[in-house]
Amino acid sequence: MKTSKLVLMGILTALAAVLMIVEIPNPFVPFLKFEFSDIVIIIAFLVLGLKESIAIAVLKVVVVAMLKGPDPYSAIPYLGSVIAIVASITLVLIYKYIFTKENLPVALRYLSSIFIFTIILTIANYFIFTPAYFGWPTKSLVEVKAMFTGFLESNTESTFMATKGYLKAVVFAYVPFNVIKSSLIIFLSSIVAKNIKVKINNYIEN
């Protein structure tokens, strides 16, 4: 691998880590926070390739985990880091295999990418990540589901949705969040990539 490519990977990893640290709370579900480090991951895919972008996705999470330490509220200390890696890899794979398919209309690619990302992350949160965060399998699923709905009720003003059961609580918390996050990242990364892709490629070639 060329030295310029390694240097660029280091720069993009550092930039992604910084963007990951800068978080914006979701106004409707404050414990979920928007961060835009995946813009860098998609740009890395466009200029370096899939393997390199996945490597940067993992490295930026490791760097942030080392800086911030484990999540004191999670039953599994670095579960949030695992979720961040899964989300980043999922998004870049969707971008590669769906959003870049030029034989499909742009609007269809855009909406399909958002839809698939939201479905995958919501299902993963429903069955794995949210239960694990609250103590499953040490605690029973019934117990952790009740803990999540109670947590959602205590941390939002939408008590109606929070008290309607685990499924509706998960949908209320994660579907809008993932729709907004994926739509912003795909849109912004496409705009940024148009402006800097050529310059980065020239840097690598030189």
Reading the chain (206 residues) residue by residue, the pLDDT tens digits are 677 788 889 999 999 999 999 999 988 887 899 999 999 999 999 989 999 999 999 999 999 999 999 888 888 989 999 999 999 999 999 999 999 888 889 899 999 999 999 999 999 999 999 999 999 988 888 899 888 888 887 766 555 454 568 888 899 899 999 999 999 999 999 888 777 765 665 655 55
Q: Of the candidates 26, 51, 31, 32, which has an alpha carbon nearest to the alpha carbon of residue 41?
A: 51
145: domain range? 3-205
How far is Cα of residue 47 from the mean position of the Cα atoms in its chain? 20
Residue 168 belongs to domain with CATH number: 1.10.1760.20
Q: Sign of the CA dihedral 37, 91, 83, 179?
A: positive
Count of H-run helices and E-run strands, the chain:
9, 2
Residue the block writes with tokens 């590669």: 96
Q: How many domains does the chain have?
A: 1
Distances (CA, A) of 52 to 59, 70, 186, 189: 10, 26, 18, 17
Contacts of 188 (CB under 8 A, 6+ apart): 36, 39
